[in-house]
Amino acid sequence: MPRLSTRLGDMGTGLALAGLGTWWAWHAAAMGLGRTADLGPGAFPFAVATLLALAGLGCAWRAWRRPDPDQPTVRIEPEALLGAALIVGLAVAFATLGLVVAGALFLFLMLVIVGQRRVLPSAIAAIVVTVVLALVFDRLLGVQLPTDILGLTR
Amino acid sequence: MSAIEHLLNGFAIALSWKNLGLCLLGCVWGTAVGVLPGLGPMAGMALLLPLTFSLDPTGGIIMLAGIFYGAMYGGSTTSILLRIPGEAASIVTCIDGYQMARNGRAGAALSIAALGSFVGGTLSIIGLMLFAPYLADVMLSVGPAAESVMMAVALIIVTAVSSGPAIKTFAMICLGLVAGTIGLDALTADSRFMFGRLVLADGLSFVALAIGLFGLSELLMSLNEGAVEKPRTPSLRDLVPSRIELREAAAPTLRGSAIGFVFGVIPGVSHIVSTFVSYAAEKKLSRTPERFGHGAVAGLAGPETANNATTGSSMIPLLVLGIPAIPSTAILLSALQNHGIQPGPLLLTENPEIFWGLIASMYIGNLILVGLNLPLVGVFVRLLQTPMAYLAPIVVLICFIGVYSVNGSMFDIGVLCAAGALGYWLRKFGYDVAPALLALVLGDRMEAGFRRALAISDGDYSIFWKGPAVKVFLALLLVVIVVKIVTVLRADKLRQALD
C-alpha cells in the first residue's frame, strides 16, 4: 500500500500552494491594480494570492522545521485510489453514456473491486439501484440529467 | 406585526405538509449522517444542497437546517453507545456518556442527551427569536467598511480558533478567497481567471466545490472502513432516566444552554469550543468532580445541551449579519443565495416567511428528533453495520446527479472530481478544508465592501478602524482570542481525562 512521508508531503503541499499563489498574483497584477481610491479588478486577487503564497511558504517552512511529525508517514489507501479512478471513469461515462449505463457500470465495479462482493448479486444490485435512482430523480423530481443512450431518462 | 404574530405565521408555514415532510427528511438524513463517523453535518448538507434548488427557499432552508441539527443530535448516539464521535462536537460526549453506557445506563444517557439537546435547541431558538430583530436594526446602520472588517474579523477568528495549525487554516482561507476571485468582477464586470471559458463567468460552482471537498473526499477516506461491532441497543424501558439522574442533569442543562448560545453567536467559534467550555464549567462547579470521566450525568448533560444550543444561535450571524458563523451555515447561505436571497438585516423585513418559517421549523424539528430518534435508536445504530464500500458508490452517484442538475454542466462534474481529489489530499496532510469554503462564500462581499469603502473615503485606509461598529468587531476578536487561550489550557486537562 502506498505510503508517503508526512514531512515531504506537507512541504510539497505548502510549496504547491505557494506556487499557485505566486502564479495567481502574477496574473492578477497584469489585470490592473488601480489606485487606492479606485481599486482595479486585479487588486483584491493580487492581495489574497500574495497572502496564499506567503501562507504556503509558511506551511512548507513549518514542515521543514518539524523533523518528527506525530505520524511519520501518511497512508494512501488502495481502496481510495481505486475509488478515485472509478469516479474519474464515471465522470467520463456520465457525459457520453448517461446515468443508467454509466451508473450501473460504476456501481458494479465498485461493489466487485472495492467491496469484494460476488459478481452476479453485484450486477443485479447495480442495475436495480441505478434504475431506481434514474426514475426517482428524472421522472419523480424532474431533475436535469445527461441524455441516456438507453432512453430511460428524458 | 408583533413577534408572536410573526411566529404564528411561521408555524403556519412550517406546519404545511410539504415543509413538515422536508423537516422530517432533514432530521432523519441529518441523524443518519451524524451517526456515521466522518460524515458530519457539512457533508450531509452539501450532498442534499442541489435538491433545495428545485424547492422554494423556505422549504429548502427548513430541510438543510433539519440536517444540521439532526447531525448534531445523531453524533451523540454513537458517542454514547460506541465511544465513536459521529462528528467532532460529540467528542466530549464520549467521556461520560460512554462511561454511563458501560455502567448499564446507556438508555438513560441517550434520553438525557436527547432532553438536553431539546432544551438547548429550544432555548437557543427563543434567544434567536428575541435578539435577531434588534441586531438586524443595528446592522442596517453598518456601512461597507464595517462590513468588510466584520468579514475579515470572522475569518481571522476562524484561523485563531482552529483546532489544527493556524498557518494551515490561514492557507485554506486564502485558497478559498483566491478561488472566489474567478469569474466576472462584481463592480467592473472585467473577466478574471476565466481563461476564455464562459462557464466560469459566475465563478466555480459552490455546490460542486462543497460536495467535492466534503462529500467526495470523505467518501474516499472512508472506503476501506468496514462495519463496526454491533453495540447492545437499549430497550424502550431502559430509556427512562431515574429521578436522581434528572435532578443531576437539570442545572447543567440550563448552564449548557447559556454557554452554547453565547458561543454560537460569535463568528468562527465552533461547537467543539462550547462543549469543552461547558464540560470544564460543570467539572469546576461540581461537588463531586472525581466522578467526571466515570459516568457523571452533568458531564454528559452540559456539553450535549451546549452543542445543540450552539446550533440554534449560530443562525443569528447567518440570518442577521449574512455571515456564516461556522462552515455548516455557509451551506445554508449558499442555498439562500441560489434563490436570489441574501441573508442579512433586510431578511426579516423582505422575507419574513423564511426567517419565521425557519424558526418555527426548528421548534418542530427538535420535537421530531426527540419523538422519532429515541425509539429508532436501534435503526440508526444498525446503519453503522453497513460497510462504506457499499454505501459510498450510491452516495457518489447521488453527488453526480446533484451537481449536474444545478447547471447541466459537465464542467461542474470536472470541478467536483478535482475538488474531491484536492480535499482528500489536503485532509491527509492535516488541512481543514472547511475554512476554504467559508472564505469562498464571504470573499465576494468582503472585496466589494473593501473597494466601496476605499472609494467613499477617497483612498483613506483609516476608514477601516474608525466608527463604533468596527471597534465592536475588533473587541470581539480580542475576546475570542482570550477565550481560545483559556480553552486550550483547559483542553489539555480534558484530553488527559479522555485518554
3-state secondary structure B126-162: HHHHHHHHHHHHHHCCCCHHHHHHHHHHHHHHHHHHC
Of B51, B167, B220, the CB nearest to A55: B167
CA A3 to chain centre: 20
As a whole number, mean pLDDT of residues B343-362 equals 82
Whether the per-residue pLDDT at B228 is higher than 60: the answer is no
> In terms of Cα–Cα distance, which of B31, B30, B35 is closest to B78?
B35
Residue B183's beta-bridge partner residues? B192
A chain contacts of residue B421, beta-carbon cutoff 8 Å: 84
pLDDT at B234: 63
pLDDT at A22: 96
pLDDT at B6: 80
Nearest Cα residue in chain B from A31: B192
A chain contacts of residue B404, beta-carbon cutoff 8 Å: 94, 144-146
pLDDT at B481: 74
Contact B429 A142 (CB under 8 A): no
pLDDT at A25: 95
pLDDT at A23: 96
A chain contacts of residue B48, beta-carbon cutoff 8 Å: none
Q: Is B426 on the interface with A (CB under 8 A)?
A: yes
As a whole number, mean pLDDT of residues A109-127 equals 85
* Contact map slice: B 212-231 vs A, CB within 8 A: 216, 219-221, 223-224
The ipTM, to two decimals, is: 0.91
Residue-wise pLDDT for B250-299, tens only, equals: 889 888 888 888 777 766 556 666 787 788 788 878 888 778 878 888 88
pLDDT at A110: 87
Decide: residue B3, CB within 10 A, 0-12 exposed, 13-18 middle, 19+ buried.
middle
Residue-wise pLDDT for A87-115, tens only, equals: 999 899 988 888 889 989 999 998 888 77
pLDDT at B334: 81
pLDDT at B307: 84
pLDDT at B140: 64
pLDDT at B37: 61
Nearest Cα residue in chain B from A137: B401
B173 and B158 in contact (C-beta within 8 Å)?
A: yes
Q: Is B461 on the interface with A (CB under 8 A)?
A: yes
pLDDT at B218: 77
* Contact map slice: A 31-90 vs B, CB within 8 A: 31, 35-45, 48-49, 51-52, 55-56, 58-59, 62, 74, 76-80, 82-84, 87-88, 90
Q: How far is B384 from chain A (nearest CA, A)?
A: 16
Mean pLDDT: which of B232-236, B469-473, B490-494 is highest? B469-473
Cell of B263: 458561543
Contact A83 B451 (CB under 8 A): no
pLDDT at B349: 79
Whether the per-residue pLDDT at A48 is higher than 70: the answer is yes
Q: Which residues of B320-357 are buried (b: 16+ CB within 10 A; e: fewer)?
A: bbbbbbbbbbbbbbbbbbbbebebbbebbeebebbbbb
Q: Looking at chain B, how many residues does it have?
A: 499
- Taking CA atoms, B21 is separated from B14, B49, B59, B125, B364, in Å, by 10, 16, 9, 21, 11
Q: Is B425 on the interface with A (CB under 8 A)?
A: yes
Mean pLDDT: which of A16-25, B215-224, B280-289, B474-483 is highest? A16-25
Residue-wise pLDDT for B369-406, tens only, equals: 887 777 776 676 666 666 777 778 888 888 888 788 77
Q: Which residues contact B206 (CB under 8 A, 6 or more apart)?
A: B334, B440, B441
State the amino acid at position B166 in one-letter form.
A
Cell of B298: 452533568
Query: B175: pLDDT confidence band, cut at 50, 70 and 90?
Result: very high
* Contact map slice: B 258-297 vs A, CB within 8 A: none
Q: Report the C-alpha gap between B52 and B201 in whole angstroms.
A: 23
Q: Which residues contact B364 (CB under 8 A, 6 or more apart)?
A: B11, B14, B15, B20, B23
Contact B393 A107 (CB under 8 A): yes
> In terms of Cα–Cα distance, which of B416, B78, B393 is closest to B223?
B393
pLDDT at A28: 92
As a whole number, mean pLDDT of residues B486-494 equals 68
Q: Which residues contact B196 (CB under 8 A, 6 or more apart)?
A: none
Which H or E run contains B184?
A: strand B183-184
A96 and A131 in contact (C-beta within 8 Å)?
A: no
pLDDT at B380: 67
- Top pLDDT among B230 and B430 is at B430
Contact A48 B428 (CB under 8 A): no
**In this prediction, what percent of chain B has a pLDDT beyond 90?**
6
As a whole number, mean pLDDT of residues B133-152 equals 75
Q: Mean pLDDT across chain B, nearest whole number?
A: 80
Looking only at the bridges linking them, the beta strands covering B183-184 and B191-192 are antiparallel
Q: Is A92 on the interface with B (CB under 8 A)?
A: no
Of B396, B425, B443, the CB nearest to A87: B396
Handedness of CA B1, B7, B8, B13 (dihedral sign): positive
Whether the per-residue pLDDT at A151 is higher than 60: the answer is yes
Of A62, A90, A114, the CB nearest to B165: A62
* Contact map slice: B 362-381 vs A, CB within 8 A: none
Q: Mean pLDDT across chain A, nearest whole number?
A: 85
Q: Report the C-alpha gap between A119 and A127 in whole angstroms.
A: 12
Whether the per-residue pLDDT at B231 is higher than 60: the answer is no
Contact B451 A103 (CB under 8 A): no
A chain contacts of residue B18, beta-carbon cutoff 8 Å: none
Query: B190: pLDDT confidence band, cut at 50, 70 and 90?
Result: confident
- At residue B325's C-alpha, the angle toward residues B174 and A15, to 5°, is 20
Q: Report the C-alpha gap between B362 and B298 in whole angstroms.
A: 25
Which residues in A24-152 belong to E strands, given as ranges? 34-35, 38-39, 73-75
B358 and B7 in contact (C-beta within 8 Å)?
A: no
Contact A94 B413 (CB under 8 A): yes
Query: B230: pLDDT confidence band, cut at 50, 70 and 90?
Result: low
pLDDT at B178: 94
* Contact map slice: A 10-29 vs B, CB within 8 A: 10, 13-14, 17, 20-21, 24, 27-28
Query: B87: pLDDT confidence band, cut at 50, 70 and 90?
Result: low
Q: Is B152 on the interface with A (CB under 8 A)?
A: no
Dihedral Cα B489, B307, B330, A9, nearest 10 deg: 40
Whether the per-residue pLDDT at B235 is higher than 70: the answer is no
Whether the per-residue pLDDT at B50 is higher than 60: the answer is yes
Mean pLDDT: which of B237-241, B261-265, B338-342, B459-463 is highest? B459-463
A chain contacts of residue B54, beta-carbon cutoff 8 Å: 141-143
Q: Report the C-alpha gap between B304 and B310 in whole angstroms.
A: 10
> In terms of Cα–Cα distance, which of B2, B22, B28 is closest to B371?
B28
